[in-house]
Amino acid sequence: MAKTGTTTQGLRTAIERSGYYPALVAEAVEAAVGGEPIASYLVHQETTFDSNEVRRHVTVLVLTAHRFIVSHTDEQAADTSSPTPYATTSTESVKLDRISSVVVSRVVANPESYTPGTLPREVVLTIGWGAVARIDLEPAACGDPNCEADHGYTGNSTADDLSLRVSEAGDGPDTVRQTLVFAQSLSEATAAAPSSTGR
């Protein structure tokens, strides 16, 4: 389930509609937003199955004029650290000029007959701001199949701070549409944000 919009009351309503510890989630998100007006938001709830347990997770993304705020809330079963079930919620506030990439991957069916404006069947929104990077390394090689020299390593470094996947089948067409709207708002905001390095 995802909801998007532009008002504080709309954000609170979307959090309440998700049904996932709304008082806890709303308090954390509203504290992070403070008094800033909201330009756009997205609330996405995900349910996963882990062995015999059902786990829920909610992600709330908020865009203001100067910041991108991301909140995650997870529930945990009782364990050795807690005799009762508990939830963990965290928020991170990122200045817009720190966002280095907004990647929108779209999966479309029957691309040969694609009509502009048709909703993708799946969207993956990946946002990077340098807090987390994934490095994939492999041994480097040359073109000689008989070469035994050490050529070091080659690889890629990818900013991967947040990745959110929604699909028409799992989340519904409105969720896919709303994710695209939020992604466009965030992309436009980061393009307009002044650089902190003066470039």
Whether pLDDT at 197 is above 60 = no
**Residue 50 pLDDT:** 67
pLDDT at position 43 is 92
Instruction: Provide the pLDDT confidence category of residue 1 given band limits of 50, 70 and 90.
Output: very low
pLDDT band at 156 (very low <50, low <70, confident <90, very high): low
What pLDDT is recorded for position 193? Answer: 79
> Of the ranges 20-34, 61-75, 84-98, 183-197, which one carries the lowest mean pLDDT score?
183-197
Beta pairing partners, 76: 86
For residue 67, pLDDT over 50 is answered with yes
User: 108 in helix, strand or coil?
Assistant: coil
pLDDT at res. 199: 43
- 3-state secondary structure string across 126-145: EEECCCCEEEEEEECCCCCC
Q: How many CA atoms lie within 13 A of 16 on its CB side?
A: 6
pLDDT at 98 over 90: yes
Q: 180: pLDDT confidence band, cut at 50, 70 and 90?
A: very high
Q: Rounded mean pLDDT of the chain?
A: 85
Question: pLDDT grade, residue 140 (50/70/90)?
Answer: confident
Q: Determine the Cα–Cα distance for residues 145 and 42; give it in Å rounded to an integer.
A: 51
Cα gap 103→170, rounded to integer Å = 21
Average pLDDT over residues 81-92: 90
**pLDDT for 80 beyond 80:** yes
Dihedral angle of Cα 42, 187, 125, 89, to the nearest 10 degrees:
-40
Question: Where in the chain are the domains?
Answer: 1-97
| pLDDT for position 132 | 55
Nearest to 100 by CA among 42, 43, 160: 160
First to last CA, the chain: 39
Cα 48 to chain centroid, rounded: 16
Q: Higher confidence at residue 71 or residue 147? A: 71
Least confident of 36-50, 111-125, 163-177, 178-192: 36-50
Residue 1: strand pairing partners:
none
For Cα atoms 122, 180, 178, give the angle at the middle one, nearest 5 degrees.
Answer: 95
CB–CB of 99/141 below 8 Å?
Answer: no
